Homo-oligomer: A and B are copies of this chain.
Amino acid sequence: GGQRWSSSKVSSTQANQTISNKQLLYTTDPLTPGSIFFLPHGTRIFNKLIHFMKNQQQKYGFQEVITPLIYKTKLWEMSGHWENYKDDMFKVVGHDLSKEEEIHEHSHEHNDNSEGLHDYALKPMNCPGHCLIFSKFDRSYKELPVRFSDFSSLHRNEASGALSGLTRVRRFHQDDGHIFCEAHQINEEITNTLNLIKDTYKVFGIGENDIEFFLSTRPEDKFIGDVKDWDHAESELTAVLDKTAGNDKWSIREGDGAFYGPKIDILLKDAFNKKHQVGTIQLDFQLPQRFDLSYKSQSGNNDKRPIMVHRAVFGSLERFFAILLDHYQGKWPFWLNPRQAVIIPVNESHQEAAKALQKQLQGDIMSEQNEVSPMTGYNFYVDVDDRWESIGSRTRDAISKGYSYILTIGDKDISSQTVAIRSRDDRKITSMSAEEIYQKFIDLERNYL
């Protein structure tokens, strides 16, 4: 790891927009301020990030769930969002209120608040939904930790004037996860999360020197739960940070924790020394109480309250996307590149060979041997540029569009059953067989290169 961040000096939102315009990654529209439209090539990157994280989460024992987007006000009252977060939320209500059952039940009450009974809110966070799932089943200490992950759309009503590109949005996605565990499990869970965070950032060439860890501890006055529980949790977090981040690699923010639990923030420093909040690990003594969550302890009583941990590695996928745009400046590594290779046939007589090569390199999904494409295998994004301009001009265009590899096919290649391949970043041209190239692509993808 440790590849250094880009040192280009353009403002990052502008620079992101410029790369996106060239590579057609995302767009926005005044008809829905703050919500991103991911275009086909941006969607490929977005989906790769999610796919990457789903695999890692599976490794760490997370179970993905798909949860609703709207919940009645009553849920947000239970969770405390109503009291503390209402102004950042969107209200949802049916245009035709007669479709709600309660209107009949309550129609004789002439209750001023009767309209409120049909109010929903668009979720700003997944936590209450995960608490509902936890609460629906009898839980035993044997099955803890229970770990849910969720990639739902979240909506937060940022002021319209503050919206900006991918970084200040109203709709976003998190690689969100919640762990329900016992106190003695905190150490291992946080260790795992911090290791996942370090391993993940390393995949993107973000070294430990570009990461900062902050521990926020119990506020002086206003906090819930026992001081004993706080002290235990904080000493665990301290030990874990010493072990995983290293003694001198993290700082303390004394008294800066939320009233419901201590937390660890993970920040990335970019080339401008600007810091971006990415991952978080938040311990929570409150929500399990508000949702009256419990599990059966070894003694057989169904009265133990789990501790809840909120954690995200990427944080907002949209913001992480923006950070990667800054970081790679459009030069996506092969595995993440929505344009992995382009094939340039020298002239029309090589077009058929180019199409055949494309099919082979694209992998199983596009193979005509399969009536129905298989679920798994190695598949790559390979285009053919048959515009019959000069090889030089098509090569320059391919580099400008960001293709990782440029393959040309002419008479000589066809007769020797090889392909002339060069990378985006190196003029050197090599002759390889189609099978060798496919294997090379597999190796690149498997090693996140």
Contact = CB atoms under 8 A, between A and B. Distances in A.
Q: Which 9 A-B pairs have the closest CB atoms?
A: A35-B68, A40-B63, A38-B66, A87-B96, A101-B160, A55-B373, A99-B159, A94-B157, A32-B68
Contacts of A252: none
Contacts of A44: 64
A430 to B, nearest CB: 24
Contact of A46 (B66, B95, B158): B66
Given A32-B71, A70-B35, A58 B365 contact: yes
Given A37-B129, A74-B31, A59 B92 contact: no
Contact of A95 (B86, B136, B203): B86
Contacts of A58: 365-366, 373, 379
Contacts of A51: 375
Given A75-B31, A92-B91, A365-B55, A161 B101 contact: yes
Contacts of A129: 37
B94 A93 contact: no
Contacts of A36: 66, 68
A376 interface: yes
A133 interface: yes
A43 B65 contact: yes
B375 A377 contact: no
Contacts of A96: 86-88, 157
A66 B37 contact: yes
Given A33-B101, A55-B373, A101-B160, 14 more contacts: A32-B71, A35-B69, A35-B70, A37-B132, A40-B63, A58-B365, A87-B96, A90-B92, A90-B120, A95-B157, A99-B157, A99-B159, A199-B372, A376-B445
A52 interface: yes
Contacts of A148: 40
A115 interface: no
Nearest to A33: B101
Contacts of A31: 71-72, 74-75, 132
A37 B203 CA distance: 32
B86 A90 contact: no
A283 to B, nearest CB: 23
A443 to B, nearest CB: 11
A122 B89 CA distance: 14
Nearest to A335: B375
Contacts of A46: 66
Interface in A128-182: 129, 132-133, 136-137, 148, 153, 155, 157-161, 171
Interface in A321-368: 335, 365-366
Contacts of A27: 133, 136
B91 A93 contact: yes
A120 B32 contact: yes
B91 A94 contact: yes
A448 B160 CA distance: 48
A139 B371 CA distance: 31
